[in-house]
């Protein structure tokens, strides 16, 4: 017998720990009491790797999944299956003799323990879609209407061409180094910062002044570092450190921006020589909004740095002192207790091009643009891809380009389309460092297979073992009429 808890997720906590010997009348009283009282914070000790199946016989899993509810409660156990049209999400807890059912509207995410995965084939290409999905695979062909991508997780996937935003056909020379955040565990928190940060809908949220950071293993010396920041109160106050060897503070051996109200300071920090203020700039537009896009163009070897805010170049610095070292980390460190949000974090290889002072943001191209490994760029029309080569038509010639010579192809915005957002969509993050993600309308998860569909590529089946995280109710902030600058 399964227990339906579509309306009162907190009831599941009680039922999961009820002694088998308890009378049904006593259980009914407990359920009634929980249903009418306010939800409390759920505290569940992690169970062992052995979780009981129906009937009490233990089943050994490779790890323990973690279910997080919309209200912040969490529950360790194992994801059994999902059927949105029937029982919702079925969860097995170590202390329950039968699976527990949750309505999907109560679910925030499921963090999946590692599972045995099919053998992965090399991924030559990374495809970004107009809804910011990231798909890895091997390019089979591209026509005027569709891209065929051979993937290890779902065989051949056919993506509608208007849904393509960019294509990095040769991942080994791709300018993309990191895009996120997607995996909270890859970030390092200060030992005293328990609960100070959380990851929600692809954004990091702070609640205190403790720092959070992560190592970028392939951090380039020529780096284009970009992120969006938002703040609740009237002005921003935070540090952002990069090229750092200290992931729990803006100091250490690093370069750092300090943003305070409308002032932006640039520092070099050294464990041996202390800090050096290399100058500041006043940016009045920071007082007129509650969010901004920060972009740092960093040349470590020549110690030259350019700052863009909302796409406009506002200041350049050159460090005449000694380099702080070979650090590979980035750190966000709020300067006070006011909540902050950081999202759309990206680190790419920078080609050295510096925009003019005060230049307007570059508009999306009306043509396709191909970038070569020598940093040359050509605009025109990508006619087709076949047999490992791209045919690119320009105003002066038709070029046949081996894909191994192409770093990135940005698709024209003129014919771009974006998949519609539907209430049953989930966002699934692939397992692995800097892995991709895919958004699908979930049909079911059964027998360790994810079944879904998307306007991007139609019906799709993928192994559950391919993923590390499943996000639910991914448009909830918008449907609850929360604006982009409302954090909580």
Closest CA to 376 of 348, 407, 398: 407
Q: pLDDT higher for 12 or 178?
A: 178
pLDDT tens profile 143-172: 999 999 999 899 999 999 999 999 988 765
* pLDDT for the residue numbered 356: 62
**Better-scored residue on pLDDT, 115 or 174:** 115
- pLDDT for res 446: 93
Q: Which of 358, 378, 410 is the last residue of a domain?
A: 410
pLDDT at position 11, please?
44
pLDDT of residue 78: 95
Q: What is the distance between the alpha carbons of residues 207 and 129, in angstroms, rounded to a whole number?
A: 32
The pLDDT assigned to 309 comes to 92
What is the per-residue pLDDT for 419?
94
443, 456 contact by CB (below 8 A):
no
CA-closest candidate to residue 462, choices 429, 487, 435: 429
CATH number, domain of 196, equals: 2.60.120.560
In this structure, what are the phi and psi dihedrals at residue 261, rounded to the nearest 5 degrees? 60, -120
**So what's the pLDDT on residue 228?**
94
402: containing domain:
125-170+367-410
- Are 21 and 45 found together in one domain? yes
Percent of the chain with pLDDT over 90: 49
| Residue 148 DSSP SS3 | strand
Q: Say what the pLDDT of residue 103 is.
A: 96
Q: Determine the straight-line distance between the first and last CA of the chain, rounded to whole angstroms.
A: 38
Structural domain includes residue 436: no
Torsion of CA 314, 320, 322, 326, to 10 degrees: 30
**Are 424 and 444 contacting, i.e. CB atoms less than 8 angstroms apart?**
no
Interval 263-269 mean pLDDT = 95
Query: What pLDDT is attached to residue 173?
Result: 55
| Gyration radius (Cα) of the chain, Å | 25
Better pLDDT: 383 or 32 = 383
Q: Please report whether residue 119 resides in a domain.
A: no
Question: Which pLDDT score, from 0 to 100, does residue 58 have?
Answer: 37
pLDDT of residue 114: 87
Q: Are residues 291 and 183 in the same domain?
A: yes
More confident residue, 374 or 13: 374
- Whether residue 365 contacts residue 381, with contact meaning beta carbons closer than 8 Å, is answered with no
* Residue 426 CB neighbour total at 10 angstroms: 24
Residues 136 and 219 in one domain: no
Residues 318 and 194 in one domain: yes
**Average confidence score pLDDT of the chain:** 81
For residue 59, pLDDT beyond 50 = no
- State whether 33 and 53 are in the same domain: yes
Q: In the predicted model, what is the mean pLDDT of residues 22-38?
A: 39
For residue 42, what pLDDT is reported? 32
Residues 191 and 295 in one domain: yes
pLDDT at 13 over 80: no
- The three-class DSSP label of residue 428 is strand
Q: Given pLDDT bands bounded at 50, 70 and 90, which one contains residue 46?
A: very low
> Is the pLDDT reported for residue 116 higher than 60?
yes
For residue 49, pLDDT over 80 is answered with: no
The residue-averaged pLDDT of 335-355 equals: 86
Q: What pairs with residue 242 in β-bridges? A: 255, 330
Q: Summarize the confidence of residues 89-112 as an average pLDDT.
A: 94
Same domain, yes or no, for 91 and 186?
no
Residues 166 and 303 in one domain: no
Whether residue 377 sits in one domain with residue 299: no
Q: Report the share of the chain in percent with pLDDT over 70.
A: 80
Q: Quote the tokens at residue 423.
A: 């209430």
> Residue 445 domain-assigned?
no
Asked if 328 and 201 sit in the same domain, the reply is: yes
CB of 263 closer than 8 Å to CB of 282: yes
How confident is the model at residue 84, as a pLDDT? 96
- Would you say 168 and 134 are in contact if contact means Cβ atoms under 8 Å apart? no
Look at residue 354 and tell me if it is in a domain: no
Give helix 9-16 / helix 24-36 axis angle, nearest 10°: 150
pLDDT at 477: 56
| Distance, CA of 336 to CA of 297 (rounded, Å) | 27
- The confidence score (pLDDT) of residue 43 equals 32
Residues 285-305: tens digit of each pLDDT: 898 888 999 999 999 999 999
Helix intervals (H) in 365-439 = none
Number of domains comprising the chain: 3
For residue 184, is it within any domain?
Answer: yes
Name which of 302, 252, 260, 297 is nearest 282 in CA terms.
260
Instruction: Indicate the pLDDT class of residue 258, thresholds 50, 70 and 90.
Output: very high
Shared-domain flag, residues 52 and 147: no
In a domain, 427, yes or no: no
DSSP state of 337: S
> What is the C-alpha separation between 69 and 89, in angstroms, rounded?
12
Cis peptide, bond prior to residue 181, ω within 30 of zero: yes
Report which of residues 46 and 63 the model is more confident about. 63
Count of residues making up the chain: 488
**pLDDT on residue 207:** 87
At 222-239, the pLDDT tens digits run 999 999 999 987 789 999
More confident residue, 480 or 434: 434
Confidence band, pLDDT 50/70/90 cuts, at residue 83: very high
Distances from the Cα of 336 to the Cα of 99, 137, 214, 261, 387, angstroms: 44, 43, 21, 12, 56
Which residues touch 136 (CB under 8 Å, ≥6 apart)? Answer: 123, 125, 126, 127, 151, 171, 430, 435, 436
Query: Predicted confidence band at 54 (pLDDT cuts at 50, 70, 90)?
Result: very low
**Is residue 55 located within the same domain as residue 130?**
no
pLDDT of residue 391: 93
State the average pLDDT over residues 194-217.
88
């Amino acid at each position: 017998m399964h227990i339906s808890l579509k309306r009162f997720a907190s009831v599941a906590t009680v039922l999961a720990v009820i002694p088998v010997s308890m009378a049904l009348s006593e259980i009914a009283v407990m359920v009634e009491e929980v249903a009418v009282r306010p939800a409390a914070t759920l505290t569940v000790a992690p169970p062992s790797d052995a979780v009981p199946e129906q009937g009490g016989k233990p089943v050994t899993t490779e790890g323990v999944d973690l279910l997080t509810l919309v209200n912040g409660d969490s529950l360790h156990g194992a994801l059994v299956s999902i059927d949105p049209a029937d029982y919702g999400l079925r969860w097995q807890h170590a202390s329950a003799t039968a699976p527990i059912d949750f309505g999907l509207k109560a679910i925030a995410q499921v963090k999946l323990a590692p599972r045995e995965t099919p053998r992965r084939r090399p991924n030559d290409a990374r495809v970004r879609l107009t809804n910011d999905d990231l798909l890895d695979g091997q390019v089979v062909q591209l026509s005027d209407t569709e891209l065929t991508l051979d993937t290890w997780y779902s065989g051949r996937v056919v993506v509608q061409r208007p849904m393509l935003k960019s294509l990095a056909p040769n991942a080994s020379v791709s300018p993309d180094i990191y895009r996120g955040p997607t995996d909270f565990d890859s970030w390092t928190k200060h030992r005293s910062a328990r609960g100070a940060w959380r990851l929600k809908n692809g954004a990091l949220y702070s609640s205190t002044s403790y720092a959070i950071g992560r190592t970028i293993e392939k951090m380039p010396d020529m780096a284009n570092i970009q992120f969006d920041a938002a703040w609740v109160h009237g002005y921003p106050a935070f540090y952002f450190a990069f090229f750092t060897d200290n992931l729990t503070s803006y100091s250490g051996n690093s370069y750092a921006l300090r943003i305070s109200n409308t002032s932006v300071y640039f520092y070099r920090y050294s464990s041996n020589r202390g800090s050096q203020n290399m100058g500041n700039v006043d940016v009045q537009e920071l007082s007129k909004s509650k969010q901004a896009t920060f972009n740092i163009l960093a040349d470590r070897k020549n110690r030259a740095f350019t700052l863009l805010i909302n796409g406009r170049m506002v200041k350049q610095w050159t460090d005449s002192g000694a380099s702080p070292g070979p650090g590979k980390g980035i750190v966000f460190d709020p300067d006070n207790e006011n909540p902050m949000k950081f999202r759309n974090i990206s680190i790419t290889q920078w080609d050295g091009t510096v925009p003019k002072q005060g230049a307007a943001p570059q508009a999306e191209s009306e043509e396709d643009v191909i970038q070569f490994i020598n940093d040359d760029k050509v605009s025109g029309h990508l006619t087709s891809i076949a047999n490992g080569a791209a045919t690119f038509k320009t105003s002066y010639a038709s070029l046949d380009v081996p894909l191994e010579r192409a770093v990135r192809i940005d698709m024209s915005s003129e014919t771009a389309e974006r998949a519609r957002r539907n209430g049953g969509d989930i966002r699934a993050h692939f397992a692995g460092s800097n892995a991709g993600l895919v958004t699908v309308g979930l049909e079911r998860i059964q027998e360790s297979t994810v079944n879904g569909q998307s306007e991007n590529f139609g019906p799709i089946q993928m192994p559950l073992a391919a993923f590390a995280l499943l996000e639910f109710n991914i448009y909830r902030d918008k449907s609850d009429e929360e604006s982009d600058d409302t954090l909580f």
